[in-house]
Amino acid sequence: MIETNGLSKTIGEKTIVRPINVSFQGAETVAILGPNGAGKSTFLNMIAGLIKPTSGLISFHGNALKKDDYTLKEKIGFLSHQSFLYDYFTPIENLIFFGRMYKVENVRERAKQLIDEVGLKLFQNEPVRSFSRGMLQRLAIARALIHNPEYLLLDEPHTGLDQQAVSILNEVIKARQKEGVTVLMVTHDFQQVTDTCTRALIMRNGRLVDDLSISELGQDTLDSRYQAVVKSS
């Protein structure tokens, strides 16, 4: 369970995220929707412990996230806009470095298995610098999964992915769902939301403006709900 309590962030004079109270239970897969600049990434970064909130609390299973609570942070897998990968390293080397940072056992096997899973086997020994955006994104997803996280935070995971990669990603998410992983996913792809998510949050201007359960909605209604919420002022 993840819970935020009055979580907000101000950078410069600008309030990017206004106090947000929300909680995510067990094996939920939650989509975070909203126009560009709504503060979705900032919100996700705060939960990942990367951005220090201006005010408010984040707690996992009732324990507040502290900056030196590494055992808790270890359970989070985070995919950011940025890939976090090193240009001069091959996929294998990148995954092994991060795997070791997460103290994964049998890193090499695990890395190979993940590279297989995201379909980069042919390129596993080529430096990442020559990769296309989609290939990088695949590897970045593998990086976020390397330590079998209990909480998965994905920021626009679908960008740059081809059709095949999108279905791989959906498989991955569904598999994690079964294991009871909480997935928070920022996305603009409504098709994927209705396919994989159980719940959707809509953000606008740093505010959480809607919170709906997908199973009770068809795609049309999600779309119209989104349009209605985002357009209204």
Ligand X SMILES: Nc1ncnc2c1ncn2[C@@H]1O[C@H](COP(=O)(O)OP(=O)(O)O)[C@@H](O)[C@H]1O
Residues engaged in binding ligand X (CB under 6 A) = 11-12, 16, 34, 36-42
67 touches which of ligand X, Mg ion, other proteins, none (CB within 5 to 8 A by kind)? other proteins
From 41, 94, 192, 194, residue interacting with Mg ion (rule: CB under 5 A): 41
227 touches which of Mg ion, ligand X, other proteins, none (CB within 5 to 8 A by kind)? none
CB of 175 to other proteins, least distance (A): 22
The residue of the chain with the least Cβ separation from Mg ion equals 41
- Burial group, residue 106, by CB count within 10 angstroms (0-12, 13-18, 19+): exposed
- Applying CB under 5 A, the span of 38-46, 55-63, 83-91, 102-110 interacting with Mg ion comes to 38-46
Return the number of the residue (32 or 92) whose C-beta is nearest Mg ion: 32
Return the number of the residue (58 or 118) whose C-beta is nearest ligand X: 58
Return the number of the residue (75 or 158) whose C-beta is nearest ligand X: 158
CB of 4 to Mg ion, least distance (A): 17
SS3 letters across the chain = CEEEEEEEEEECCEEEEEEEEEEECCCCEEEEECCCCCCHHHHHHHHHCCCCCCEEEEEECCEECCCCCHHHHCCEEEECCCCCCCCCCCHHHHHHHHHHHCCCCCHHHHHHHHHHHCCCHHHCCCCHHHCCHHHHHHHHHHHHHCCCCCEEEEECCCCCCCHHHHHHHHHHHHHHHHCCCEEEEECCCHHHHHHHCCEEEEEECCEEEEEEEHHHCCHHHHHHHHHHHHHCC
If one asks whether residue 187 binds Mg ion (CB under 5 A), the answer comes out as: no
Return the number of the residue (84 or 159) whose C-beta is nearest other proteins: 84
34 touches which of Mg ion, other proteins, ligand X, none (CB within 5 to 8 A by kind)? ligand X
CB of 226 to other proteins, least distance (A): 19
37 touches which of Mg ion, other proteins, ligand X, none (CB within 5 to 8 A by kind)? ligand X
- Interface with Mg ion by CB under 5 A: which residues? 41
